[in-house]
C-alpha cells in the first residue's frame, strides 16, 4: 500500500471512531479494527468488532445507518470526496478470545 492510501486509511479510521459511538446498541460496544481503501480512494472497507450482549444487533445497526455514518464522515474528512463505506464484521478478536478461554 502506498503512503497516500495509508494516510487516507488512517484518517478515515481516526474519524470513524467517535462517529461509531453514536451507533452502538445499548449493551454493546463497537471497535473499528482496520480500514482498507481502494486505490482510487472511492471505496472503503471498514472492519469492525462488536462486543457485548448483542453483537449481531450492533452490527445490523451499523449497516442500517451506513448512509448517515457516511454523511458524518464526509463532514470530517479533509478531501474532495468521501469514500463509499462497506462494513465487515471482524470476528478475529472474538475467535482469539474463545481460544484463549479454552486454553485456560
Q: Find the CATH number of the domain harbouring 18.
A: 3.30.300.20
Q: Is residue 95's pLDDT more than 70?
A: no
Instruction: Give the position of cell 480512494.
Output: 41
Domain that holds residue 12: 3-103
| Average pLDDT along the chain | 88
Work out how many domains the chain is built from and give that number.
Answer: 1
CA atoms within 13 A on the CB side of 100: 6
Exposed, middle or buried, 94 (CB in 10 Å: 0-12/13-18/19+)? middle
pLDDT in tens, 11-45: 999 999 999 999 888 888 899 999 999 999 899 99
Residues with Cβ within 8 Å of 93's Cβ and at least 6 positions away in sequence, in order, are: 31, 33, 49
Convert 28-39 to b/e letters by CB count within 10 Å (16 or more is b). bebebeebebee
Amino acid at each position: 500500500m502506498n503512503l497516500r492510501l495509508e494516510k487516507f486509511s488512517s484518517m478515515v479510521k481516526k474519524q470513524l471512531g467517535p462517529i461509531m459511538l453514536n451507533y452502538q446498541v445499548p449493551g454493546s460496544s463497537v471497535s473499528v479494527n482496520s480500514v482498507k481503501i481502494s486505490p482510487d480512494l472511492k471505496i472503503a472497507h471498514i472492519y469492525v468488532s462488536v462486543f457485548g450482549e448483542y453483537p449481531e444487533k450492533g452490527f445490523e445497526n451499523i449497516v442500517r445507518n451506513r448512509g448517515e455514518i457516511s454523511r458524518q464522515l464526509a463532514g470530517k474528512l479533509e478531501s474532495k470526496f468521501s469514500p463509499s463505506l462497506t462494513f465487515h464484521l471482524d470476528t478475529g478478536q472474538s475467535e482469539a478470545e474463545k481460544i484463549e478461554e479454552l486454553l485456560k
